[in-house]
Amino acid sequence: MAQKTVLIVYAHQSLGSFNEAVRDVALQELTKQGYKVIVSDLYAMNFRASTTREDIIGDLKNPELFQYGEESMAAWKEGRLSDDIVAEQRKVEEAEFVIFQFPLYWFSVPAIMKGWMDRVLTQGFAFSLQKLYDKGALKDKKAMLSFTTGAMQTMFRPDGINGDINVTLWPLQNGVLHFCGFQVLAPQIFWGPAHCPPTVRAAMLQGWQTRLQGLVAEKPLTFAPSDLFDL
């Protein structure tokens, strides 16, 4: 049987960060389980975040007005996307499970990871007007957000100062991942590791390892079926 593959899309600048420790627990545990684990270390790769003309090889369909969505879709169809995008799309194709590992920035992913989403999840490759949400092009794959915060958990409760964490995550979990078809597993959230003593941080990592051991059996989050809606 072919080896199963996990892709970790990783965004942290610093060696020795808590995010790095979290990534390494996943790398080691999933490797132990027999997975091939690919890591896209976005800062180390100097991954470009901006959606520009450089992403398209060759002539534009409409040189008068550069429309990134149209041009990138056409380039995907014709094999004219830039090499760095194609390399990431190959990894997504190979993986059955994608983990996004990052520190929460402004209630979202760091810009470099948003750039990965903007550039790699091209129309045609990840979705089309006919292939959205539970019919999305990546519907046979799972994905999850795994991230650290500066905030304490109480701040992200429905009655907390930041509001409900599920509302914060809706654009990423529904608007990006589920939109492309991914079956989205519950997020893994490390609350304020920088404010915790080493024993608590170690317990967080242990909890993550334990969760990873049962990850295959986890049921994805529930979203409203797309058939309920008129497009």
Return the number of the residue (187 or 220) whose C-beta is nearest ligand FMN.
187
Of 17-25, 26-34, 46-54, 219-227, the segment contacting ligand FMN by CB under 6 A is 17-25
Of 16-24, 83-91, 93-101, 216-224, the segment contacting ligand FMN by CB under 6 A is 16-24
| Cα(173)–Cα(191) distance, integer angstroms | 18
- CB of residue 194 to ligand FMN, shortest distance in Å: 5
Return the number of the residue (17 or 33) whose C-beta is nearest ligand FMN.
17
- CB of residue 78 to ligand FMN, shortest distance in Å: 37
- CB of residue 71 to ligand FMN, shortest distance in Å: 30
Per-residue burial over 108-138, b if 16 or more Cβ lie within 10 Å, else e, is ebbebbbbbbbbbbbbebbbeeebbbeebbb
Per CB under 6 A, 66 contacts ligand FMN: no
- CB of residue 210 to ligand FMN, shortest distance in Å: 20
Per CB under 6 A, 116 contacts ligand FMN: no
| Pattern 130-159, ligand FMN, x by CB under 6 A | ------------------xxxx--------
C-alpha distances in angstroms, 21 versus 102, 144, 148, 197? 11, 17, 11, 15
Per CB under 6 A, 105 contacts ligand FMN: yes
- CB of residue 156 to ligand FMN, shortest distance in Å: 8
Show contacts with ligand FMN in window 189-228 (CB under 6 A). 193-194
Give the relative orientation of helices 18-32 and 198-213 as an angle to the nearest 10 degrees: 30
Q: Which residues pair with 143 in a beta bridge?
A: 98, 184
Task: Characterize the bridge pairing of strands 97-103 and 188-190.
Answer: unpaired
Per CB under 6 A, 181 contacts ligand FMN: no
Of 3-11, 75-83, 104-112, 203-211, the segment contacting ligand FMN by CB under 6 A is 104-112
Q: Which residues pair with 100 in a beta bridge?
A: 9, 145
97 and 6 Cβ atoms separated by less than 8 Å? yes
| Cα(164)–Cα(104) distance, integer angstroms | 15
- CB of residue 160 to ligand FMN, shortest distance in Å: 11
Q: What are phi and psi of 146, to 5 degrees?
A: -130, 115
